[in-house]
Structure 1
Amino acid sequence: MLAVSSTRRVFDEGWLLERKWDGIRALAVRDGSRVTLRSRTGQQLESAYPELVAALAAQPVPRFAVDGEIVAFEGGRTSFARLQQRMGLHDPARALASGVAVEYVLFDLLALQGHDTTGLPLLDRKQLLTEAIEFELPLRFSEHTAAEPGVPVPLSEACAHGWEGLIAKRAAGRYVAARSGDWLKLKCERGQEFVVGGWTEPAGSREAFGALLLGYHERGQERGQERGQERGQERGQERDQKHGAEPGRLRYAGKVGTGFDTRTLRALHRVLLQLASPVSPFETAEEVPTRTSHWVRPELVVQVGFTEWTRDGRLRAPRYQGVRTDRPAAEVVREPPA
Structure 2
Amino acid sequence: MTPLRFSPMLATPSERREFGPGWLLERKLDGIRALAYRDGPTVRLESRTGKQLAPGFPELAEALAAQPVRRFVLDGEIVALDEHGATSFERLQRRMQLHDPRRALATGVAVTYFLFDLLRLEEYDTTRLPLAERKRVLARALRYGGPLRYTEHREADGPAPLAEACARGWEGLIVKRADGAYQQRRSSDWLKLKCTAAQELVVGGFTDPAGSRAGFGALLLGTHLADGRLRYAGKVGTGFSTAVLHALRARLDALARPGSPFDGPVPERAPHWVEPVLVAQCAFTGWTEEGRLRHPRFLGLREDKEAREVFRESFREDQGT
Q: Percent identity?
A: 63
Q: Is the 8 A contact 2:286 2:315 kept in 1?
A: no
Superposition pairs of residues 40-119 of structure 1, within 5 angstroms = 40-75=48-83, 76-119=85-128
Supply the distance in 2 between the matched residues of 1:140 and 1:321 (Cα, whole angstroms): 25
TM-score by length of 2: 0.93
Deviation at 1:147, TM superposition (A): 1.1
Ranges in structure 1 where 5+ consecutive residues have no aligned partner: 221-247
2:151 aligned partner: 142
Aligned residue for 2:274? 296
Counterpart residue number, 1:321: 299
Cα deviation, 1:64-92, whole Å, max 9, x if unaligned, reads 00000001112122110010000111011
Whole-angstrom distance in 2 between the partners of 1:181 and 1:128: 23
- Tell me the distance in 2 between the aligned counterparts of 1:314 and 1:95: 36
Q: Within 1, Cα distance between the matches of 2:165 and 2:301? A: 24
1:160 and 1:259 map into 2 onto residues whose CA distance is 23
Shift of residue 335 of structure 1? 2.0
Work out the number of aligned pairs and report it: 307
Task: State which drifts further: 123-132 or 306-315.
Answer: 306-315
The one-letter code sitting in structure 2 at the alignment partner of 1:104 is Y
- Say which SS state the counterpart of residue 52 (structure 1) adopts: helix
202-211 vs 325-334, which moves further = 202-211
Q: Which moved more, 1:51-60 or 1:268-277?
A: 268-277
Alignment of 1:1-338 (within 5 A): 1-75=9-83, 76-148=85-157, 150=158, 152-220=159-227, 248-283=228-263, 285-286=264-265, 288-336=266-314
- Superposed displacement of residue 290, structure 1: 4.0
Structure 2: distance between partners of 1:292 and 1:156 = 43
Deviations 1:249-278 (A, max 9, x none): 211111111222222222211211111222
Q: State how far apart, in whole Å, the 2-side matches of 1:161 and 1:261 are.
A: 28
**What CA distance in whole angstroms lies between the structure 1 residues aligned with 2:90 and 2:254?**
23
Displacement over 3 Å in runs of 4+: none
- Quote the RMSD (CA, aligned, Å): 1.3
Distance in 1 (CA, whole Å) between partners of 2:270 and 2:244 is 20
Question: What is the DSSP-based 3-state SS (H/G/I as helix, E as strand, rest coil) of the residue aligned with 2:220?
Answer: strand
Measure the CA separation in 1 of the matches of 2:310 and 2:106.
Answer: 33
SS in 2 for 1:320: strand
C-alpha displacement of 1:97: 1.4
Distance 1:142 1:264 in 2: 32
SS of 1:35 mapped into structure 2: strand
For residue 337 of structure 1, report the CA deviation from its aligned partner: 5.3
Partner amino acid, structure 2, of 1:263: A
Letter in 2 for 1:165: G
Worse-superposed segment, 49-58 or 203-212? 203-212
Gaps of 5+ in 2: 1-8, 317-321
Q: Match of 1:122, as an amino acid?
A: L
Aligned partner letter, 1:57: A
Match for 1:68: what amino acid?
A: G
Paired amino acid for 2:181 = R
Q: Matched residue of 1:110: which SS?
A: strand
- Give CA deviations for 1:127-154 in whole Å, capped at 9, x if unaligned: 1001111011110111111112x3x222
